[in-house]
């Protein structure tokens, strides 16, 4: 069994690496020099501005933000250099699926490009990007709706008929069927795009997370990097990554890091927090990713959390035999 917390730490390092790389790629010098290029453009020194944009990008490892590439395309177009203008325009169209076709079509800076053979291709490609983004959003909206439709009826059904009732079993079957269909849709998206951050999906990324939360362990492990990418892209909050990470750890028989996974003991009819690595400091880890104190979370399951008594209480509830595989309890 791997050391508890290593799994979490590896994900943290990946996120840290992404953040550090971004800060290195786009440093203060990058932005300061962009201000000069922008000023040259406003002074109608289009060629000078365009050359400076190119130099800034080259010195930054050929990396640039979309608005800056767009500005460079405008500068080259105004300087009557169609090839360079289309280079930057197609860079954002092809690599980040830029799709603001109406903005480009109506931007007077690009008037010199309108009769060029590549102009129509640029507009057509942006329109395809827009249509693909709209289709992707429609799929994710339907996935979220289907994921929640039957789950929203669970509490009411349990209250009226009981957890083991025929009505609840029928509802479980509907949930399972919806999950299977949703998983096919989401895996199709992830296999095609990875995390679809090149499209403006925004909060709809939650639909992907929910489907993976309900998936089998092998699926969760395979697509965890995409959830990490979703957090790095700003489409998901870090706590979603933590929840999936905890769920994978519990399924593996490892101790969880954030205490998000709750179990139920049939014998005592009590809920409990699945084994947690270093429970004395779990709240520190939870706070870093925006989760509430574990005592508040546990209380919603009628669990009284006491970090000093947790190990003793869970050993008493579940027994040494159950806990023997959890490394964080082998002391």
Does the pLDDT at position 320 exceed 80?
A: no
* pLDDT for the residue numbered 17: 41
Q: Are residues 93 and 189 located together in one domain of the fold?
A: no
Q: Tell me which of 182 and 327 has the higher pLDDT.
A: 182
From CA 264, how far away is CA 318, in angstroms rounded?
10
Contact at 8 Å (CB) between 168 and 161?
yes
3-state secondary structure of 297: helix
Q: Are residues 210 and 242 located together in one domain of the fold?
A: yes
- The mean pLDDT value for 48-75 works out to 96
Q: Are residues 107 and 133 located together in one domain of the fold?
A: no
From CA 330, how far away is CA 327, in angstroms rounded?
5
Mean pLDDT estimate for the chain: 90
Determine, yes or no, domain membership for 31. yes
From CA 203, how far away is CA 240, in angstroms rounded?
12
From CA 85, how far away is CA 73, in angstroms rounded?
4
From CA 263, how far away is CA 189, in angstroms rounded?
32
Does the pLDDT at position 233 exceed 90?
A: no
Last residue in a domain, options 216, 250, 284: 250
Does the pLDDT at position 82 exceed 90?
A: yes
Write out the H or E segment, with its range, that includes residue 1: none
Q: Are residues 287 and 212 located together in one domain of the fold?
A: no
- The mean pLDDT value for 307-320 works out to 87
DSSP state of 256: B
Q: Are residues 233 and 280 located together in one domain of the fold?
A: no
Q: Are residues 44 and 147 located together in one domain of the fold?
A: no
Determine, yes or no, domain membership for 4. no
Going by C-alpha positions, the residue among 144, 146, 174, 170 that lies closest to residue 158 is 170
* pLDDT for the residue numbered 186: 97
What pTM was computed for the model? Answer: 0.78
* pLDDT for the residue numbered 54: 97
Does the pLDDT at position 81 exceed 60?
A: yes
From CA 285, how far away is CA 257, in angstroms rounded?
8
Does the pLDDT at position 72 exceed 90?
A: yes
Contact at 8 Å (CB) between 250 and 274?
yes
Residues above pLDDT 90, as percent of the chain: 77
Count of the separate structural domains present in the chain: 3
Does the pLDDT at position 191 exceed 50?
A: yes
* pLDDT for the residue numbered 25: 64
Measure the CA angle with vertex 237, ends 177 and 14; round to 5°: 100
CATH of the domain at 65: 1.25.40
* pLDDT for the residue numbered 187: 97
Determine, yes or no, domain membership for 60. yes
Residue 256: beta bridge partners? 276
Write out the H or E segment, with its range, that includes residue 115: none
Q: pLDDT tier at 5 (50, 70, 90 boundaries)?
A: very low
- The mean pLDDT value for 162-182 works out to 95
Contact at 8 Å (CB) between 226 and 194?
yes
Range of the domain at 298: 255-331
Q: Are residues 188 and 88 located together in one domain of the fold?
A: no
pLDDT digits (tens, 9 = 90+) for 261-275: 999 988 888 999 999
* pLDDT for the residue numbered 7: 44
Going by C-alpha positions, the residue among 60, 132, 61 that lies closest to residue 94 is 132
Q: Are residues 204 and 262 located together in one domain of the fold?
A: no
3-state secondary structure of 143: helix
């Amino acid at each position: 069994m791997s050391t508890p917390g290593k799994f979490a730490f590896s994900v943290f390092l990946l996120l840290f690496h992404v953040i550090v790389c971004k800060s290195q790629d786009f440093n203060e010098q990058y932005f300061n020099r962009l201000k000069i290029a922008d000023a040259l453009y406003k002074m109608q020194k289009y060629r000078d501005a365009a050359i400076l944009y190119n130099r800034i990008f080259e010195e930054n490892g050929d990396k640039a933000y979309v608005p800056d590439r767009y500005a460079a395309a405008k500068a080259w177009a105004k300087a009557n250099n169609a090839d360079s203008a289309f280079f930057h325009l197609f860079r954002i169209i092809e690599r980040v699926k830029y799709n603001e076709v109406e903005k480009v079509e109506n931007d007077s800076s690009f008037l010199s490009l309108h009769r060029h053979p590549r102009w129509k291709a640029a507009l057509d490609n942006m329109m395809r990007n827009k249509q693909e983004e709209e289709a992707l959003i429609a799929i994710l909206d339907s996935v979220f709706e289907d994921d929640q439709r039957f789950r929203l009826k669970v509490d009411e059904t349990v209250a009226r008929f009981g957890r083991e009732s025929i009505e609840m079993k029928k509802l479980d079957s509907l949930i399972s069927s919806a999950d299977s269909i949703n998983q096919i849709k989401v895996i199709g998206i992830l296999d095609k795009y990875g995390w679809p951050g090149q499209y403006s999906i925004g909060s709809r990324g939650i639909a992907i997370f929910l489907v993976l939360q309900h998936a089998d362990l092998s699926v969760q492990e395979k697509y965890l990097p995409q959830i990490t990418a979703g957090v790095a892209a700003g489409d998901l909050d870090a706590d979603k990554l933590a929840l999936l990470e905890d769920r994978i750890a519990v399924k593996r028989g490892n101790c969880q890091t954030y205490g998000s996974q709750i179990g139920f003991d049939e014998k005592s009819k009590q809920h409990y927090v699945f084994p947690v690595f270093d429970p004395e400091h779990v709240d520190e880890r939870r706070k870093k990713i925006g989760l509430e104190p574990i005592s508040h979370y546990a209380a919603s399951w009628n669990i009284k959390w006491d970090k000093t008594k947790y190990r003793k209480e869970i050993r008493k509830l579940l027994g040494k035999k159950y806990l023997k595989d959890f490394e964080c309890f082998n002391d």
